Amino acid sequence: MKKHNFNPGPAILPETVIQQAAQAVLDYNGSGLSILEISHRGSEFVAIIEEAISLTRELLGLSDDYHVLFTTGGASTQFFMLAMNLLNEGETAAYTDTGTWANKAIKEAKAYGSIKVIASSKDKNYSFIPKDLSALPADARFLHLTSNNTIFGTQIHEWPAVPVPIICDMSSDIFSKPIPVEKFGMIYAGAQKNAGAAGVTMVILRKDMVRSDLTHHMPPMLDYKTYIAENSLYNTPPVFSIYVTMMTLRWIKALGGLEGIQKINQAKAKILYDEIDSNPYFKGTVAVEDRSLMNVCFVCDNETLENEFATDAKNAGCVNLKGHRSVGGFRASIYNAMPIESVQVLVDTMNSFALKKG
């Protein structure tokens, strides 16, 4: 039976990318060497990382005002790394608290500056994206946002107009739609949702954000200036993960870039949300205007029904649908590489469940 993998992460990869990566593990480009054992200083890998950078610039429409860096440690490392690099002690930064990962970012940043939480949806179980940012301090060096909340299923669809640079954790929706790059001083993302395999983190940093006046010690491996100076090759980077990212970006470009993938993502989300809204046995958990196109969260009226549907979904080949323990119910993660055919299988299963129960 074909499996339809709705895992929130590490997430589904394009089938062609998996096939190419599998071949590269055996023999990269006819070199007689595995991609796992080529030198990160050699011409083969330098070409890989340069193409990954070039594709990132092309797809996002980045100007020369931005650096494209590859780091390790996931977005969780960036929670403190960005604060270390961008704040001196006592300086102010503004954050919104829209979910578990935003909350973790706030906690880490507090060790390096004066962090002001200017908006939160925590008291409503993170079921919406707060829009009122009027509490933004005049002296804030940046505003930190989390674009998509994997656990609760909310997503920013309209970027705020603010007088400070926006720093954004886009781990779960980068490369899923066009964005107004000029609003951002920094974008960071773990690759394992839409941009490749686990193990590498992308950092897109505007050049004027780089500071030369930091008053605290910066370990080289946590200093953005190190990655800039060494083209992300200060030490051995995650070679295979960067290769998979490059291949994934090629795949996105072939689909029509971010405009093309956005249309596909909108179509997938529409058929699933339409079923949730019309099926009497399911209901969504977040504000309609803030629904995520990446992580669709829904519940049944009671645990018995949820257990029954979970069994039906598993029998249909739909796996990894269980919602996070803080929300319950179900979470269908439908990232870029999720085929619309798999979403249709889930919708058909939901419809069949309603017919059976009705």
Q: Domain end: 254, 282, 304, which one?
A: 254
Q: What is the pLDDT of residue 88?
A: 97
Instruction: Identify whether residues 168 and 263 lie together within a single domain.
Output: no
Nearest of 301, 289, 349, 14 to residue 130 by alpha carbon: 289
Q: What is the pLDDT of residue 301?
A: 86
7 lies in a domain?
A: no
CATH number at residue 336: 3.90.1150.10
Instruction: Identify whether residues 90 and 192 lie together within a single domain.
Output: yes
Q: Which residues of the chain have pLDDT under 70?
A: none
Q: What is the pLDDT of residue 325?
A: 81
The token pair that represents 133 in the structure block: 């940012």
348 lies in a domain?
A: yes
Instruction: Identify whether residues 82 and 176 lie together within a single domain.
Output: yes
Which residues are the active-site residues?
101, 169, 193
Instruction: Identify whether residues 343 and 215 lie together within a single domain.
Output: no
Instruction: Identify whether residues 300 and 182 lie together within a single domain.
Output: no
5 lies in a domain?
A: no
Instruction: Identify whether residues 201 and 336 lie together within a single domain.
Output: no
pTM for this prediction = 0.96
SS3 per residue for 145-194 = EECEECCCCEECCCCCCCCCCEEEECCCCCCCCCCCHHHEEEEEEECCCC
1 lies in a domain?
A: no
3 lies in a domain?
A: no
Instruction: Identify whether residues 202 and 87 lie together within a single domain.
Output: yes
CA distances from 171 to 11, 76, 186, 195 (A): 12, 10, 13, 9
| Phi-psi sector, 257: left (phi>0), alpha (psi -120 to 50), beta | left
CATH number at residue 28: 3.40.640.10
The rounded distance, in Å, linking the Cα atoms of 310 and 330 is: 9
Instruction: Identify whether residues 233 and 325 lie together within a single domain.
Output: no
8 lies in a domain?
A: no
Q: What is the pLDDT of residue 326?
A: 77
Instruction: Identify whether residues 273 and 342 lie together within a single domain.
Output: yes
Instruction: Identify whether residues 153 and 179 lie together within a single domain.
Output: yes
Q: How many domains does the chain have?
A: 2
Q: What is the pLDDT of residue 141?
A: 98
Instruction: Identify whether residues 237 and 270 lie together within a single domain.
Output: no
6 lies in a domain?
A: no
Instruction: Identify whether residues 144 and 161 lie together within a single domain.
Output: yes
The rounded distance, in Å, linking the Cα atoms of 174 and 194 is: 6
Q: Domain end: 254, 282, 317, which one?
A: 254
The rounded distance, in Å, linking the Cα atoms of 264 and 255 is: 9
Q: What is the pLDDT of residue 328?
A: 87
Q: What is the pLDDT of residue 324?
A: 85
Q: pLDDT tens for residues 193-206?
A: 999 999 999 999 99
Helical segments of the chain, H only: 15-26, 43-60, 74-86, 100-109, 224-229, 239-254, 257-278, 303-315, 340-357
Residue 98 belongs to what domain range?
15-254
Q: Domain end: 193, 227, 254, which one?
A: 254
